[in-house]
Amino acid sequence: MKNQLKTKILLFFGVCTLFGFNSNSIENDMIQKAESYYVKGEFQNSIVVYERILEMNLHSPSIYFNLGNAYFQINELGNSRWAYETGLIYYPRSSELRSNFETLKKTITNDIAIDSNTFNRILKMVTLNELINSICVLLFLLTILFILRKYRKINDIFYPNSIIIFSLFFLTFIIILKVILSKEFQGIVIANQPEVFIELENKIIDNNIVLFDGNKVSIINQKKNFYEISLIDGRKGWINKNQLRNL
């Protein structure tokens, strides 16, 4: 897989160079620096720069793609998965992110499948911004039809009006569902076999819950430096925040 990832990232660099980034010169310099580190095999340095770029609130499919690849090269599967999955939240139809993410999952020990609901997977193929933009377009069209009907004396537009109004209600419903789903916090384990506690006060370890680097869990609560997590089978426990990365 490492050879496949390296080939893909070099090809992706070429595409990014061709189309460019919509960012200022400092951000471009940082991106080029991160890419240069990666090509030289200095993956840890490349990761540091990419993480700084994300802290600057600069996002693109290539940034998450390359960051995930860099983490994979140093065998940090959890951080690699976090980069791919976070990228897919912003860019759910990115074939490069999807391809490497699916390949990565095959290397993760005891991968825990959470997203088994087909409807949820379909819902995640569009972003909240895309849905809001679609509503704005429909409202614009509805306004145009209203103006035509009022000032041009066109009465035979009930059918398109009905379609647009129905679409508006449907998209609003989808947006509400996405907002509800976004409140279901999930995280990626970034440590191999971290300690999971049944009780925080007495630090009682649950030996029945064994997690591996790259496993995905639901986050249901937090207290001090710990997250309470839940697995798909209903088991719960507490894990140190430093061993989990929020999606």
Please tell me which residue, 106 or 164, carries the higher pLDDT value.
Answer: 106
User: Dihedral of CA 177/180/183/188: which sign?
Assistant: negative
pLDDT at 75: 94
Residues 170-188 have pLDDT tens digits of 778 777 776 666 656 889 9
CA-based nearest residue to 175, from 117, 116, 135 = 135
| Contact (CB, 8 A) for 182 and 89 | no
Determine the pLDDT at residue 113. Answer: 62
List the Cα angle 25/30/33 in 5-degree steps.
Answer: 125
pLDDT of residue 35 exceeding 70, the answer is yes
Percentage of the residues of the chain whose pLDDT score is greater than 90: 36
Of the pLDDT bands very low, low, confident and very high (cuts 50, 70, 90), residue 7 is very low
Please give the Cα distance from 242 to 65 (Å, whole number). Answer: 23
On the question of pLDDT at 14 being above 50, the answer is no
Residue with more model confidence, 205 or 175: 205
Residue 3 has pLDDT above 60, yes or no: no
Distances (CA, A) of 162 to 67, 149, 150, 168: 46, 14, 17, 10
pLDDT at 80 over 70: yes
Residues 126, 110, 7, 122, Cα dihedral to 10°: -10
Tens of pLDDT, residue by residue over 133-159, are 888 888 887 777 777 777 665 555 555
* The two structure tokens encoding residue 57: 């609130």
In this prediction, residue 179 carries a pLDDT of 66
pLDDT at 78 over 90: yes
Six-digit token string for 13: 């660099």
The pLDDT of residue 17 is 45
Lowest average pLDDT, out of 50-54, 130-134, 159-163, goes to 159-163
Enumerate the β-bridge partners of residue 128. none
Q: In this model, does residue 208 exceed pLDDT 50?
A: yes
Cβ atoms of 131 and 171 within 8 Å: the answer is: yes
Mean pLDDT of 200-218: 87
Size of the chain in residues: 247
Mean pLDDT of the chain: 80
Which carries the bigger pLDDT value, residue 16 or residue 199?
199
Q: Is the CB of residue 83 less than 8 Å from the CB of residue 77?
A: no
